[in-house]
Structure 1
Amino acid sequence: MLFPGHTIKAGESDASIVKALKAQLNRVLSLANEPSLRLDESEGTFGAKMRQVVKLFQARHVDPEGRPLKQDGEVGAITWSVLFGQQSVPQAATAIDPLLAEVIKVARFELDRPVREQPTNSNRGPDVEKYLASVGLGGGFSWCCAFTYWCFQQASTQLGRRNPMVKTGGCLKHWQDAPARGAKLIAAGAAQANPGLLRPGMLFIMDHGKGLGHTGLIVSVSGGLLNTIEGNTDASRTREGGGVYALVRRVSEINKGYIDYSGVA
Structure 2
Amino acid sequence: MEDLCMSSLLKKGAQGEEVLQLQKLLVEHGFPVSLDGIFGIETERAVRAFQSQNLDQHGEPLRVDGQVGPLTWWSLTHPKPVIDRPVAINYQEMPPEEAGGSSIGRAALSAAISELKAGAGEVGGNNQGPWVCKYLAPAGLGPGNPWCASFVSWCFLQAVGGEKEKMPFSYSASARDLLKKFQKKGWAKSPSDRYIPQPGDLVFWWRVKADGWQGHVGLVHQLKYGMLYTIEGNKSPRVQGFSYVFSRMEKLLGFGHVFC
TM-score range, shorter chain: 0.5 to 0.7
Distance 2:186 2:155 in 1: 17
Does the 8 A contact of 1:166 with 1:178 survive in 2? no
The structure number with the bigger radius of gyration is 1
**Residue in 2 aligned with 1:231?**
233
Change (3 A) 1:183 1:128: farther
Change (3 A) 1:189 1:155: same
Shift of 1:177: 2.0
% same residue = 25
C-alpha distance after superposition, 1:215-237 (max 9, x if no partner): 1000111143111110012xxxx
Does the 8 A contact of 2:169 with 2:181 survive in 1? no
Distance 2:140 2:198 in 1: 29
Does the 8 A contact of 1:149 with 1:167 survive in 2? yes
- Per the normalisation by structure 1, the TM-score is 0.57
**Does the residue aligned with 1:226 lie in a helix, a strand or coil?**
strand
Does the 8 A contact of 2:197 with 2:223 survive in 1? yes
Shift of 1:211: 1.8
Question: What pairs with 1:1-265 in structure 2 (closer than 5 Å)?
Answer: 68-69=59-60, 93-94=96-97, 95-120=100-125, 122-157=126-161, 162-180=166-184, 182-191=185-194, 197-208=196-207, 209=209, 210-233=212-235, 241-251=236-246, 252-254=248-250, 255-263=252-260
Shift of 1:163: 0.6
**Does the residue aligned with 1:148 lie in a helix, a strand or coil?**
helix
> What runs of 5+ residues in structure 2 fail to find an aligned partner?
1-52, 62-86, 88-94
C-alpha distance after superposition, 1:101-140 (max 9, x if no partner): 11111100000000121113x2010010110112221111
Distance 2:177 2:165 in 1: 23
Shift of 1:96: 3.6
Distance 1:160 1:214 in 2: 22
> What runs of 5+ residues in structure 1 fail to find an aligned partner?
1-63, 71-85, 87-91, 234-240
Shift of 1:244: 0.4
**Does the residue aligned with 1:243 lie in a helix, a strand or coil?**
coil
Does the 8 A contact of 1:134 with 1:149 survive in 2? no
Change (3 A) 1:159 1:174: closer
Does the 8 A contact of 1:171 with 1:205 survive in 2? yes
Distance 1:222 1:162 in 2: 31
**Does the residue aligned with 1:157 lie in a helix, a strand or coil?**
coil
Shift of 1:98: 1.6
* RMSD (Å) for aligned C-alpha atoms: 2.8
The residue type equivalent to 2:239 in the other structure is V
Distance 1:169 1:102 in 2: 20
Shift of 1:161: 8.0
User: Size of the alignment, in residue pairs?
Assistant: 168
The residue type equivalent to 1:111 in the other structure is L
- Per the normalisation by structure 2, the TM-score is 0.58
The residue type equivalent to 2:191 in the other structure is A
Does the 8 A contact of 2:149 with 2:174 survive in 1? yes
**Does the residue aligned with 2:161 lie in a helix, a strand or coil?**
helix
Distance 1:156 1:260 in 2: 16
Shift of 1:185: 1.2
The residue type equivalent to 2:224 in the other structure is S
Change (3 A) 1:103 1:207: same
The residue type equivalent to 1:245 in the other structure is Q
Distance 1:183 1:105 in 2: 24
The structure 1 segments of at least 4 consecutive aligned residues displaced by more than 6 Å after TM superposition are 158-161
Shift of 1:262: 2.5
